Amino acid sequence: MKNVWFKKVAEEYGWMGNMAPYPIKFDGKVWLTSEALFQSMRYDDDSVKEMIRVEKSPMGAKMKAKKYRDQMVVVPMSELDVENMRKCVKMKFDAHPQLKRQLMNTKDAFIYEDIGNRNGERHKFWGAKKWSESKSDGNNMMGKILMELREEYLKEIK
């Protein structure tokens, strides 16, 4: 079985990541990336959500969200946070049929989000550190969410 690793948007599987520029519609508004939507879902304050939404870059949206950390209502890496990530990822792939096809084309590959040299708890929660093609360290929640979604899509066509 092949492993698929994604890290940077410009790399082969970069389209899988939340930073990839694939807009999605939610609550009647367009979000430039699933990252921006995901970050905003951690807040109740509409002005904070809008500030995150209008940010041009996904990293900018993430940094904006960090500035308002004290107003977060969803605890990072909690069950609700993971559920919000699932929703954002699914909305992105549902809105972009070519991405859905590309995800299904990974067939039974194990998908990892490569955290590179980052070692923080949140990085290892969402992704994994690659030691070799078959050895990694991390929870890899993002990879798990993508594999679950792929499974769901593949069942739809059977």
Say which CATH number the domain at 112 has. Answer: 1.10.357.40
Handedness of CA 137, 111, 83, 20 (dihedral sign): positive
pLDDT digits 0-9 by tens, 54-76: 999 999 999 999 999 999 999 99
Helix residue ranges per DSSP H, 44-140: 46-53, 58-67, 79-95, 97-104, 121-126
Give the pLDDT confidence score for residue 135 in this predicted structure.
85
Q: How far is CA 41 from CA 8, 34, 48, 99, 130, in A?
A: 23, 11, 10, 23, 29
What range defines the domain where residue 81 resides?
3-156
Is residue 122 within 8 A of residue 139, CB to CB? The reply is no
Tell me the C-alpha distance between 14 and 69, whole Å: 27
CA distance linking residue 148 with residue 85, whole number of Å: 12
The mean pLDDT of 81-92, rounded to a whole number, is 98
* pLDDT confidence bin for 133, thresholds 50/70/90: confident
As given in the structure block, the two tokens for residue 2 are 């092949």
What pLDDT digit, counting tens, does each position of 15-45 carry? 999 999 999 999 999 999 999 999 999 999 9
* pLDDT class of 111 with cuts at 50, 70, 90: very high
Contact partners, residue 132, CB within 8 Å, separation at least 6: none
Task: Name the nearest CA neighbour of 90 among 135, 140, 153, 39.
Answer: 153
Number of domains in the chain: 1
